[in-house]
Chain A
């Protein structure tokens, strides 16, 4: 159970990185990635996965 970032759509703005409550998102090379081990899809923490809620590009932070 985790989210992933579609690299080709990502604008590398970094909003997801600092909204993630689990510190699961980091820069790798020239893009952001989500660590599937740390990602909880924000279950029990927020109404919706924070990365997807803040991402400016539709369908870029999606279930893995």
Chain B
């Protein structure tokens, strides 16, 4: 076999038949990020709500894509990690966007993307600005798109300050998913994060600002929970400011019914012009982030596959096709054609069944082993849940922890510059990749050359393409059994 199939080949496929062939050829399927729970771990009505949502379901993020439209640029608070003036197409982080859209532009853009990107399942409004504060534009956008594409899932993210004013409308409009950024449940901690808020025609600063914000966030969360709307809480981890406080945040939001808690590392760089960037506040290391996430893993489900995407991102979580769909590329008049999305869904339904079965088998096999070993494995994947990417092409690695206890998704590691650009391996780039992989024991990919393999070995990392095109879980299990299975037998 050895045929490389990516989701990209499915998207570019001309017909249903092509898509099916591509998948049968050993394409892509599943693995792990977000809430890694599957249908067996939760109530059917909840699974039904999240199963196609790439940000809420780790499983779904291998198949489905989101797009954000930046229609609501006005904001009612100032955060120390945000600078509203910043705008750059090469930056990928929340709040950053290259063009602001009117609700009418947004509708045209979403329909254009829906016609081209069959994986599209979710439309989000996530800044820059606050979707609830700039409510009229948010509402007009959702209203016109839901009319054209009734099955698209709507979601929004907010700082919570204006949220309580709109919860009823959110429920009426079938907005199933709301994300609130909650960085503290103690206003004293908030003083170091929020210099001011604008509330009831007044600018509030200091402790007053954080007190009001906190009360409104809690009220908004409770109101959403009582209406059965799934709420995800985003918390920015800021070392020395709220890192030790986040377990408390986790406890409180869990008690108030939050569905998912997403701890995001602070992104801080002087070039971004943010208060934190300019004052030298650092973000957490990957190890610090993981330690905190591990500490919280008994609480609300944790999201670990967040890519902190741009406010105008388009595509699967690991990719951003936003540039392809700038307004200059969007036609004046567009008509929604559901055929591609429908065909894709049919195929994914089948593929997913196979992947779930493979995951279960992997879990069962690991359970039979008694090895104490616990290894961190980085996987190169183009999506679809398979080990299907060349080591040198990986823009990011998905990291899993594997042991007899099973497989847990830990997160992803971004690669700053690909090792293999245009066919030549660059030594400097390889050094960068190796430092990205710090702490990783094993790399699984679809192909790796002898030279990078040797250098990884020298750095204490095992790299192999023996499990190319396997489901991720099946490959992880097979590798673990080969490396540690004999230990289990002897024990």
Chain A residues with Cβ below 8 Å from B133 are: 15
In the complex, the answer to whether A14 meets B84 with C-beta atoms within 8 Å is no
In the complex, the answer to whether A53 meets B85 with C-beta atoms within 8 Å is no
B92 to chain A, nearest CB (A): 19
Chain A residues with Cβ below 8 Å from B136 are: 18
**What does DSSP make chain A's interface, helix, strand, loop or mixed?**
loop
The docked-state distance in angstroms from the alpha carbon of A47 to that of B128 is 28
In the complex, the answer to whether B78 meets A56 with C-beta atoms within 8 Å is yes
Chain B residues with Cβ below 8 Å from A14 are: 73-74, 134
In the complex, the answer to whether A57 meets B84 with C-beta atoms within 8 Å is yes
Chain A residues with Cβ below 8 Å from B134 are: 14-15
Additional pairs, 10, CB under 8 Å, beyond known A11-B73, A15-B74, A53-B201: A11-B84, A12-B100, A13-B84, A14-B74, A47-B202, A50-B201, A54-B74, A54-B203, A56-B78, A56-B84
| Interface residue? A6 (CB, 8 A) | no
How many residues in B have their beta carbons less than 8 Å from beta carbons of A? 17
Interface residues on A, range: 10 to 19
Q: Which residues of B contact A (CB under 8 A)?
A: 73-76, 78, 84-85, 100, 128-129, 133-134, 136, 198, 201-203
| Interface residue? A62 (CB, 8 A) | no
A8 to chain B, nearest CB (A): 10
In the complex, the answer to whether B202 meets A12 with C-beta atoms within 8 Å is no
In the complex, the answer to whether B203 meets A15 with C-beta atoms within 8 Å is no
In the complex, the answer to whether B198 meets A53 with C-beta atoms within 8 Å is yes
Known: A11-B84, A13-B128, A56-B84. A18 touches B202 (CB 8 A): no
Looking at B73, B201, B203, which has the most chain A CB atoms within 10 Å of its CB? B201
Chain A residues with Cβ below 8 Å from B202 are: 46-48, 53
Closest chain B residue to A60 by CB distance?
Answer: B85
Chain B residues with Cβ below 8 Å from A11 are: 73, 84-85
In the complex, the answer to whether A12 meets B73 with C-beta atoms within 8 Å is yes
B279 to chain A, nearest CB (A): 16
